[in-house]
Structure 1
Amino acid sequence: MKNTLLFISLALSASVLNAQRNQNIASFDEAETFVPGKYTGKYNEKGEKHGHGKAVLSTGEVYDGEWANDKRNGFGKATMKDGAAYTGEWKDNKRSGQGIYTFLNGDKYVGLFTDNKMNGAGIYYYADGDRYEGLFADGEILGKGLFVFKNGDRYEGEFTNGKKNGIGKYYFASGNVYEGNYENDSRVGLGTMFFPNGDVYKGDFKDGRRTGKGIFTFANGDHYEGDFLNGMMHGSGTFFWKDGDRFEGYFVNNNRETGRMYKKALDQVNVSVASAKN
Structure 2
Amino acid sequence: MDSDDEVVEEAVEGHLDDDGLPHGFCTVTYSSTDRFEGNFVHGEKNGRGKFFFFDGSTLEGYYVDDALQGQGVYTYEDGGVLQGTYVDGELNGPAQEYDTDGRLIFKGQYKDNIRHGVCWIHYPDGGSLVGEVNEDGEMTGEKIAYVYPDQRTALYGKFIDGEMLEGKLATLMATEEGKPHFELTSGNELIKPGRQLCGCRSLCQRPMTCVQSPGPTL
TM range (shorter): 0.5 to 0.7
Task: Map 1:29-48; keep pairs closer than 5 Å.
Answer: none
Q: Does 1:229 align with 2:160?
A: yes
Q: Does 1:87 align with 2:13?
A: yes
Code of the aligned partner of 1:230:
D
Residue by residue over 1:192-221, the C-alpha shift from the partner in whole angstroms, topping out at 9 and shown as x without a partner, is: 122110102232122233223233221155
Do the aligned partners of residues 130 and 223 (structure 1) sit closer, same or farther apart at CA in structure 2, a change above 3 Å counting? same
Distance (Å, rounded) in 2 between the aligned partners of 1:23 and 1:118: 18
Q: Matches of residues 1-278 of structure 1 in structure 2 within 5 Å?
A: 18-19=1-2, 24=7, 26=9, 84-93=10-19, 94-173=21-100, 177-206=105-134, 207-212=136-141, 213-220=143-150, 222-234=153-165, 237-240=167-170, 248-250=188-190, 277=214
TM-score, normalization by structure 1? 0.54
Q: TM-score when scaled to structure 2?
A: 0.67
Structure 2 stretches of 5 or more lacking a match?
Answer: 172-184, 197-211
Amino acid at match of 2:63: F
Structure 1 alignment gaps of length 5 or more: 1-17, 27-83, 257-274
Distance (Å, rounded) in 2 between the aligned partners of 1:166 and 1:134: 15
1:21 Cα deviation after fit: 5.8
CA apart distance, 1:253: 5.8
CA contact (8 A) 1:134 1:145 kept: yes
Shift of 1:86: 1.6
Question: How far did residue 191 of structure 1 move?
Answer: 1.2
| Structure 1 residue ranges, 4+ long, deviating more than 6 angstroms after superposition | none
- How many angstroms does 1:179 deviate by? 0.6
Query: 2:109·2:117 contact (CA, 8 Å) conserved in 1?
Result: yes
Aligned position for 2:177: none
Aligned to 1:55: none
Does the 8 Å CA contact 2:5/2:32 hold for their aligned counterparts?
no
Kindly report the root-mean-square deviation, in angstroms, between the aligned alpha carbons of the 2 structures. 3.4
Distance 2:76 2:42 in 1: 29
User: Do the aligned partners of residues 120 and 21 (structure 1) sit closer, same or farther apart at CA in structure 2, a change above 3 Å counting?
Assistant: farther
Greater RCO (Cα-Cα under 8 Å, separation 6 or more) = 1
* TM-superposed deviation, 1:187: 2.0
CA contact (8 A) 1:155 1:170 kept: yes
Sort the Cα spacing of 1:231 and 1:253 in 2 relative to 1 into closer, same or farther, 3 A: farther
Work out the CA distance in 2 between the residues paired with 1:253 and 1:196. 21
SS in 2 for 1:216: strand
User: Take 1:21 and 1:190, find their aligned partners in 2: how far apart are those partners?
Assistant: 31
Query: Does the CA contact (< 8 Å) of 2:5 and 2:31 recur in 1?
Result: no
The count of corresponding residues between Structure 1 and Structure 2 is: 184
Corresponding letter in the other structure for 1:104: S
